[in-house]
Structure 1
Amino acid sequence: MHPAGETLRRMDAGRRVRALREALLSAGISMSYLAPDSVNNPDLFDDHVDAAVRSFQQSRGLIVDGVAGPDTLRALAEAQFRFGDRVLALVEGQQPIRGDDVAELQRHLSHLGFYYGHIDGEFNVRTRYAVAELQNNLGIPGTGVCDQDTIRAMARVNRAITPSQAFALRDYERLDRSTAALRGRLIALSTGSSELASPHAVDRLTSRPLTEAMVAADIGQRVERILREFGAGVVSRASAFAGVDGGGERVPSLSLDLHCDWLDQQAASGIAAFYWGLPGTGEARSPIGHRAAILLMKELAARTGMDSLGVHGRTWDTLKLSGIPSVGLDLGYLSNRGDAERLADPVFRQTVADSIVIGIQRLYLLEEEDQPTGTLALDDVFRFNPAEVPEERRVAGL
């Protein structure tokens, strides 16, 4: 594969286009006139390559634009390997191996009950430990390296295993055992940065142009202010991964990414939530992220009155944070007059922020403590956030 940073698009030509054709075929995209030996000029990025790139992007939950940019090329590189094609190991001082073969290994380990992390396709420390534990249970050396001997041993026992989402069950069990309080948790928060101004409205308070950067930052600040009032810590995702805990935890309990949408078709309107999952089937790769997205969408739709565009699984890198449930929220279309006029109102933006905080709080409530959508008030949230949390309900790191 060519370097992930080199973009290819329609009418480009060269040996890299030929390599792109071969990579698409290797990734399982079988379309007419894609194979280099089926066309007169295999080095040309023609309509057939464009269609194949779009098909691949659609299958991976990427933006479907027909351009082989960094995200598409990275996904293509990961799709080149099938389980068993290579030895999988974590080598100190080197970047972890990524690929579809690693994701398949993680699924096998999950089915067997040895792996309960996210199916992220990265051979990280958690994956290595799971492989070593499996090897020890199979009576072979626990090296943590997935080689042919390990694959053969795994195949012998895996035939009798019915696929299940062991990682999902364990995640939910861990969630249910945690404290209901927001106090002491760490929430990672990021906001969109587009400066494209809505033609329909300006901020009612300051008369500033209504942009994603302005709206998302304002709502993010309101969310942060409320969370801190309840004793939670809030950091940017960059700070969280740089080791700045800001609230007693090194790993955030949840990551939120706030955005506004834009479409040339001005009729498009409404709010949507995204979690790490497969676009076609909706299979959740992050069960807690999925649950959080559902609760946040329910509260936002009930309290704001905006059209609900649903909850969707996506494979975006922003949702694939290792070990951290992540939710992306599109809070309306600035290209739509109705959405823009609502988001221009600071009072409405406060309602959005309140809805987000209440959705987060509901994520951590036990079943008997939860309330119907739209009925929990911020004053009620104080009940779940005492100054001290009983020790028997505290689970570290969640």
Structure 2
Amino acid sequence: MQLLRRGDSGPAVVEIRSTLRQFGLMTGPAATPEDDRFDADTERAVRAFQQRRGLISDGIVGQATYRALREAGWTLGDRMLALLVSAPMSGDDVLALQERLLELGFDPGRPGGVFDEQTEQALRKFQREYGLVPDGMCGPATLRSLRQLGRKVTGGRPRLMREQEVLRQSGPRLRGKRIVVDPGHGGADRGVVAAGVAEADLMWDLARRIVGRMSATGMDAMLTRQEHTCPTETERAEFANTTGADLVLSLHTDANSSMHAQGLATYHFGNGTGATSTVGEALAGFIQRELLTRTAMLDCRSQARTWELLRLTRMPTVRVEVGYLTHLGDRKRLLDPAFRDVVAEGILVAVKRLYLLGQNDQPTGTFSFSDVLAHELERGGAQAI
């Protein structure tokens, strides 16, 4: 769909205003076909909705915001839920189903609001255990049982505890860990372009540096794209899910109309309603701190978002925005191969810190690639760095 912003008008604006009013974000009389203006009140309501849903609060209705508006209108019981491979069902009703299954002790994966294969498997298991037809569809009978039963898992957040336990059981060594590295954009999609420098090219180079270092430690590191291809976000997520990756690292740079905007930011999955990736949040924090210490870039913080790659991947995923290409200082850094080496090393060390779980750790910024490599090549790897 086309972007809708302040000053626009038409039937699509009427629909958006009506939806926002249903969510209590706009007051006053109901919208009419004649009242089709995207005015200041509409923009404020859109910003409030975006903030609530873990989206960029820019007041503009693009594809991600329109999707979120549509999904927020579903409640559990409004429709039959089932696995549709070609066009997976998504919405707040799917999210509610996933959270309910988790409460009952069944694992549909991280609650992202998308009815995928893991959600279907968890639903079938629930149906079998409670004497229902295990068809993997959430209809009236299954819904009644879900509502009647009490929780099996109490205290804490079960999915988050599962993520942490998987991390703990995997051990401190990097050898054998499967990591998907996602260089943003690619092919005809150049991403941010400033002063003749393209985001797609810089992130391709950075990704290869990271993969090279990871492979040297014994990790199974893979790229989501080739130099001249550009998969969709959904395709990148499907690649990570199919390969059974332990982690996903997505690499980007940012841009801003202001030449003064600069700095480093990391993003992990979080939907604003409590569902988040604990391990993803931890890794985002490690990467943020390591790179800030090593590069002295401006801290734009680690934040939760519901972007497609973050919510569609079944494993912890972090998006790293390495500076602003529209900022002269950040662009100068990114053009320096030595700087990209520093970033690659910092990201590798952050992944190592994640798996150390705080055991035998050292101050941020003190590990080097040589330190990590020496540990990984130790016979048996019994001791952490």
TM-score with structure 1 setting the length? 0.81
Give the C-alpha shift of residue 177 in structure 1: 0.8
1:163-200 deviations in Å (ceiling 9; x for gaps): 631111111111111143333333222234435225xx
1:122-137 to 2 correspondences below 5 Å: 122-137=114-129
CA distance in 1, matches of 2:174, 2:363: 19
Give the C-alpha shift of residue 11 in structure 1: 4.3
Give the C-alpha shift of residue 162 in structure 1: 4.2
> 2:283 pairs with 286, 289, 292, which one?
292
User: Aligned with 2:312: secondary structure?
Assistant: coil
1:249-290 deviations in Å (ceiling 9; x for gaps): 9222221111222223344332111100135x7x45222211
- Which residue number corresponds to residue 256 of structure 1? 249
Segments of 5+ residues of structure 2 without an aligned counterpart are 185-189
1:266-285 to 2 correspondences below 5 Å: 266-279=259-272, 283=274, 285=276
Kindly indicate whether the alpha-carbon contact (under 8 Å) linking 1:29 and 1:52 is maintained by their aligned counterparts in 2: no
> 2:13 pairs with 17, 42, 50, which one?
17
User: Aligned with 1:122: secondary structure?
Assistant: coil
Give the C-alpha shift of residue 242 in structure 1: 8.2
1:229 aligns with 2:192: no
User: Aligned with 1:332: secondary structure?
Assistant: strand
1:299-338 deviations in Å (ceiling 9; x for gaps): 1122222232221111111212331221111112233344
CA distance in 2, matches of 1:244, 1:63: 24
- Which residue number corresponds to residue 41 of structure 1? 34
1:186-197 to 2 correspondences below 5 Å: 186-192=178-184, 193-197=190-194
> 1:314 pairs with 294, 302, 305, which one?
305
Q: Between the two proteins, what is the percent identity of the paired residues?
A: 35
- Which residue number corresponds to residue 201 of structure 1? none
Change (3 A) 1:298 1:81: same
1:76-95 to 2 correspondences below 5 Å: 76-91=69-84, 94-95=86-87
1:197-208 to 2 correspondences below 5 Å: 197=194
Kindly indicate whether the alpha-carbon contact (under 8 Å) linking 1:89 and 1:146 is maintained by their aligned counterparts in 2: yes
Give the C-alpha shift of residue 245 in structure 1: 8.4
Kindly indicate whether the alpha-carbon contact (under 8 Å) linking 2:268 and 2:284 is maintained by their aligned counterparts in 1: yes
> 2:202 pairs with 178, 192, 215, which one?
215
Q: Which amino acid aligns with 1:381?
A: V
Q: Which amino acid aligns with 1:346?
A: P
Q: Which amino acid aligns with 2:16?
A: L
The answer to which of 237-246 and 97-106 deviates more is: 237-246
1:138 aligns with 2:130: yes
- Which residue number corresponds to residue 95 of structure 2? 103
CA distance in 1, matches of 2:29, 2:172: 54
Change (3 A) 1:156 1:389: farther
1:344 aligns with 2:335: yes
Kindly indicate whether the alpha-carbon contact (under 8 Å) linking 2:256 and 2:324 is maintained by their aligned counterparts in 1: yes
CA distance in 2, matches of 1:16, 1:45: 10
Aligned pair count? 369
1:185 aligns with 2:181: no
1:134-173 deviations in Å (ceiling 9; x for gaps): 2333343333222233233222323786463111111111
Segments of 5+ residues of structure 1 without an aligned counterpart are 199-208, 393-398
- Which residue number corresponds to residue 381 of structure 1? 372
The answer to which of 249-258 and 102-111 deviates more is: 249-258
User: Aligned with 2:245: secondary structure?
Assistant: coil
Question: What is the RMSD of the two structures over their aligned residues, measured on CA atoms?
Answer: 3.2
Give the C-alpha shift of residue 343 in structure 1: 3.0
1:113-151 deviations in Å (ceiling 9; x for gaps): 212511111112211222222233334333322223323
1:44-63 deviations in Å (ceiling 9; x for gaps): 44443333333322322223
User: Aligned with 1:301: secondary structure?
Assistant: helix
1:52 aligns with 2:45: yes
CA distance in 2, matches of 1:161, 1:350: 45
CA distance in 1, matches of 2:191, 2:244: 28
Give the C-alpha shift of residue 17 in structure 1: 3.1
> 2:258 pairs with 230, 246, 265, which one?
265
The answer to which of 164-173 and 28-37 deviates more is: 28-37
Change (3 A) 1:34 1:341: farther
Q: Which amino acid aligns with 1:22?
A: S
CA distance in 1, matches of 2:278, 2:29: 37
CA distance in 1, matches of 2:212, 2:86: 40
1:28-77 deviations in Å (ceiling 9; x for gaps): 1431347225xx82344444333333332232222333332222221122
TM-score with structure 2 setting the length? 0.83
Change (3 A) 1:94 1:347: closer
Give the C-alpha shift of residue 243 in structure 1: 11
Q: Which amino acid aligns with 2:368?
A: A
Give the C-alpha shift of residue 369 in structure 1: 4.5
Q: Which amino acid aligns with 2:11?
A: R
1:104-183 to 2 correspondences below 5 Å: 104-115=96-107, 117-158=109-150, 162=154, 164-183=156-175
